[in-house]
Amino acid sequence: MCITATTMLLLTSACMEHKPIISTEHSSNSTIELNVSAALGLKEALLDIQKDYEASHPNVKIVYNLAAAGVLQSQIEQGAPADIFISAANTQVDALEKKNLIDASTRRNLVSNSLVLIVAKDSTLDLNGFNDLVKSEVIHYGLGEPQTVPAGQYGVEVLKYLNIWDKVQSKAVLAKDVRTILTYVETGDVEAGIVFSTVAATSDKVKIVATAPNGSHESIVFPGVVLTNSPHHEAAQDFLNYLASPTGMKMFQKYGFTAFL
């Protein structure tokens, strides 16, 4: 059989077209990318946890989407990619469960903290409790948008519990997240702000003047859950288990969180 140069060229081309590209794709997919949508108040703790987890799990890359829990809920409902959702209240997780967007069997209550009233570090205002927000010297105070920011939701509960919501509602400057409230207080745009204690602890420009009274709001909880449509369900479950483990709890406690009991 005579093989011409043209025939050889065709055979060579055919071989090239059928080179095992699959092995290259497999190599590029060897690292699992986990998309974690998490409440912004967890930022410092989660970034620290990420370093440790990726060091011990080199095949996993954690990608955070940090924002107010209600904003994250809306994004997930609209189809944003997420493997894990960590909220700052049960409300958002409950809403996603009703739409079958989470795997309820994976739900874990991770950590808790306190709701506090803060003022600028150099403030001379005589504020010693949430009740003092009614004082005339308090022109404005920062409050998370109750519909999307859990700290705002808890804050309104406290003010209603104290029977002063009707008196101070008009003074509230609603913010998109707890970090924005912190900035408002730092810059003097508001006289006070209602945030989580762990958020207040991240700034040396504010001070805590009061903690919400016991029983004045629902228990603060940061629940975590794996999304129903996660393409990496097993890896997502492993990371969630790590967050709830003694090692993960130690990292959270470093930033002022307490294990949810």
What DSSP assignment string belongs to 36-94? EEEEGGGHHHHHHHHHHHHHH-TTEEEEEEEE-HHHHHHHHHTT---SEEE-SSHHHHH
Residue 228 lies in a domain: yes
pLDDT for 24:
31
Same domain (yes/no): 133, 197: yes
Residue 63 lies in a domain: yes
pLDDT under 50: residue ranges of the chain: 1-28
CATH of the domain at 96: 3.40.190.10
pLDDT for 30:
80
Same domain (yes/no): 161, 119: yes
Span 43-100, pLDDT tens digits: 999 999 999 999 999 999 999 999 999 999 999 999 999 999 999 999 999 999 999 9
Number of domains in the chain: 2
Same domain (yes/no): 106, 54: yes
CA 149 to chain centre: 11
Answer whether 66's CB lies under 8 Å from 44's CB: no
Same domain (yes/no): 134, 186: yes
Residue 228 structural domain: 31-112+221-259
pLDDT for 260:
84
Same domain (yes/no): 123, 249: no
pLDDT for 12:
41
Same domain (yes/no): 82, 120: no
Count of Cβ atoms closer than 10 Å to residue 157 Cβ? 17
Residue 14 lies in a domain: no
Reduced to 3 states, what is the DSSP secondary structure of residue 124? coil
Identify the burial level of 5 via C-beta atoms within 10 angstroms of its C-beta, where 0-12 means exposed, 13-18 middle and 19 or more buried: exposed
Residue 137 lies in a domain: yes
Q: Determine the Cα–Cα distance for residues 64 and 179; give it in Å rounded to an integer.
A: 16
Same domain (yes/no): 104, 226: yes
Q: 84: which strand partners?
A: 36, 226
Q: Determine the Cα–Cα distance for residues 38 and 52; give it in Å rounded to an integer.
A: 18
